[in-house]
A = this chain, B = another copy of it.
Amino acid sequence: MKQATTKDRILLSALDLFSQYGYEAVSVEQIAQAVGIKAPSLYKHYKSKQDIFDAIFVEMQRRYDEQTEKMNLHMTNASADQNRFSEIKADALVQEVQKLIGYSLHDEYISRFRRLMTIEQFRSRSISALYTHRYVNRFVLYHEKLFEGLIHAGVMKDGDIHSMALQYVCPVLICLSICDRQPELEMQTMAQIDAHIRQFLVAYQLNKEKM
């Protein structure tokens, strides 16, 4: 575990500023100031302002891949997740989702990068597509598979799995976006996620006694 280099600190400061004000609105001098150096010194680490922006994307892609790899280990056998779900203890499920959301909200790289993506999403096709994939479809697709298995296992009511996945995932995503925008609402938003998950289970969990 090595300490953060100046190059790393520049990247994080730039990410912080870009994610709040947008790329164009932030000057190189501001970034340098946040790091505690003068603007020209910064050019020893990155060859241009655009270079810093690009480096942010490379770094976040690296972190994303790293994370995805871990998750794959955790669920190559997607059945593992299904087993966890098939008991569907509401309390445990809620806690797990909230833990993930909390991480996603408070990690200084992940949350800032998501905000950066949000405000730069209309600038290029590739960013648009990346946004939809990473912040919407990935979660929907995961839950489609999960629900498919749960229906097959007779734990969940049958239905259109894509719509069910949307109904489960989208409220969480919207709550996340609210917290990104208004961190002061985090507690009450978390409570809404709690209620949402429980209501979803009421609506879609198969009541075995009645079968």
A interface list, Cβ under 8 A from B: 19-25, 115, 118-123, 128-129, 131-132, 136, 157, 159-160, 162-164, 166-167, 170-171, 173-174, 178, 180-182, 185, 192, 195-196, 198-200, 202-204
Return the contact of A182 from the options B129, B166, B178, B192 (Cβ within 8 A). B129
8 CB < 8 A contacts A-B:
A20-B122, A22-B25, A118-B121, A118-B122, A131-B181, A160-B195, A166-B174, A167-B170
Q: Given the interface contacts A163-B171, A163-B192, A166-B192, does A136 sit within 8 Å of B178 by beta carbon?
A: yes
Please give the count of copies of this chain that the complex contains: 2
Contact B203 A159 (CB under 8 A): yes
Return the contact of A171 from the options B128, B167, B185 (Cβ within 8 A). B167
Bound CA span A23–B119, Å: 11
What is the chain B residue whose CB lies nearest that of A197? B163
Interface of A is mostly: helix
Contact B199 A163 (CB under 8 A): yes
Q: How far is the CB of A162 from chain B (nearest CB, A)?
A: 6
Return the contact of A174 from the options B22, B25, B163, B173 (Cβ within 8 A). B173
Bound CA span A173–B195, Å: 19
Bound CA span A164–B180, Å: 23
Return the contact of A25 from the options B19, B24, B166 (Cβ within 8 A). B24
Report chain B residues within 8 Å CB of A200: 163, 167
Contact A160 B199 (CB under 8 A): yes
Known A119-B122, A122-B180, A163-B198; further 4 A-B contacts with Cβ < 8 A = A118-B121, A119-B121, A167-B199, A170-B174
Contact B122 A160 (CB under 8 A): no
Report chain B residues within 8 Å CB of A170: 167, 170-171, 173-174
Q: Given the interface contacts A118-B121, A170-B170, A171-B170, does A196 sit within 8 Å of B163 by beta carbon?
A: yes
